[in-house]
Amino acid sequence: MISRGPDGRFVERKTTMTTKIKKHDIPRIFSGIQPSGDLHLGNYLGAMRQFIELQDNNDCIYCVVDMHAITVPQDPEALKKHILDLAALYIAVGIDPKKSILFVQSMVPGHAELSWILTCSSYTGELSRMTQFKSKSRGEESAPTGLFCYPVLMAADILLYDTDQVPVGNDQTQHIELTRDLATRVNNTKGETFIVPEGRYLKEGARIMALDDPTKKMSKSDPNIHSRISLMDPPNKIKKTIMRATTDSEAIVRFDAANKPGISNLMNIYSVLTGESIADIETSFTGKGYGDFKKELVGVVQESLAPIQERFNDIRYSDELITVLKDGAERANAIAVPVLARVKERFGLGL
Ligand code: ATP
Ligand code: LTN
> How many Cβ atoms are within 10 Å of 254's Cβ, its own excluded?
16
Would you mind telling me the total number of residues written for the chain in this entry?
351
Residues known to be catalytic: 136, 217, 220
In the prediction, which pLDDT does 8 show?
A: 64
Mutate to test the pocket of ligand 2, among 63, 118, 133 (most ligand atoms within 8 A of CB): 63
Spatial CB neighbours of 350, under 8 Å, sequence gap ≥ 6: 344
> Is residue 66 within 6 Å of ligand 2 at its C-beta?
no
Ordered DSSP codes for 149-184: HHHHHHHHHHHTTT-SEEEE-GGGHHHHHHHHHHHH
Which strand ranges, in their side-by-side order, compose the sheet holding 101-104? 101-104, 59-64, 28-33, 165-168, 198-201
Output the CA 172–ligand 2 centroid distance in Å: 7
Output the CA 322–ligand 1 centroid distance in Å: 25
- Reported as a single tens digit per residue, the pLDDT across 193-248 is 999 999 998 775 678 999 999 999 999 888 999 999 999 999 999 999 999 999 99
Output the CA 67–ligand 2 centroid distance in Å: 11
- Reported as a single tens digit per residue, the pLDDT across 245-279 is 999 999 899 999 999 999 999 999 999 999 999 99
Output the CA 51–ligand 1 centroid distance in Å: 14
Minimum CA distance residue for ligand 1 atom 16: 43
Query: For residue 135, what pLDDT band results from cuts at 50, 70 and 90?
Result: confident
> How many Cβ atoms are within 10 Å of 323's Cβ, its own excluded?
11
Ligand 1 atom with least separation from CA of 37: 3
H helix count then E strand count, the chain: 14, 7
Q: Which of these CATH numbers, 1.10.240.10, 3.40.50.300, 3.40.640.10, 1.20.1250.20, describes 225-314? A: 1.10.240.10
- Cα–Cα distance for residue pair 201/180, rounded to 1 Å: 15
Pairing of strands 2-4, 10-12: antiparallel
Query: For residue 13, what pLDDT band results from cuts at 50, 70 and 90?
Result: low
What would the mean pLDDT of 100-117 be, rounded to a whole number?
Answer: 98
> Is residue 239 within 6 Å of ligand 2 at its C-beta?
no
> Is residue 67 within 6 Å of ligand 2 at its C-beta?
no
- Reported as a single tens digit per residue, the pLDDT across 276-308 is 999 999 999 999 999 999 999 999 999 999 999
In the prediction, which pLDDT does 23 show?
A: 83
CATH 1.10.240.10, the chain: domain bounds? 225-314
Greatest Cα pair distance in the chain: 76
Q: Tell me the pTM.
A: 0.91
pLDDT tops 70 at residue 11: no
- Cα–Cα distance for residue pair 25/59, rounded to 1 Å: 10
CATH fold of 25-206+319-347: Rossmann fold (3.40.50)
- Cα–Cα distance for residue pair 26/1, rounded to 1 Å: 37
Burial 211-240 (b: 16+ CB within 10 A, else e): bbbbeebbeeebeeebbbbbbbbeeeebbe
Q: How many C-alpha atoms does 229 have within 13 Å on its Cβ side?
A: 30
Q: Tell me what the pLDDT averaged over the chain comes to.
A: 93
CATH 3.40.50.620, the chain: domain bounds? 25-206+319-347
Q: Are 247 and 214 in contact (CB under 8 A)?
A: no
- Reported as a single tens digit per residue, the pLDDT across 28-86 is 999 999 998 889 999 999 889 899 999 999 999 999 999 999 999 999 999 999 999 99
- Cα–Cα distance for residue pair 112/180, rounded to 1 Å: 18
Q: What are phi and psi of 202, to 5 degrees?
A: -75, 150
Sign of CA dihedral 230, 304, 42, 94: positive
Cα distances from 300 to residues 270, 294, 339, in angstroms, run 7, 10, 45
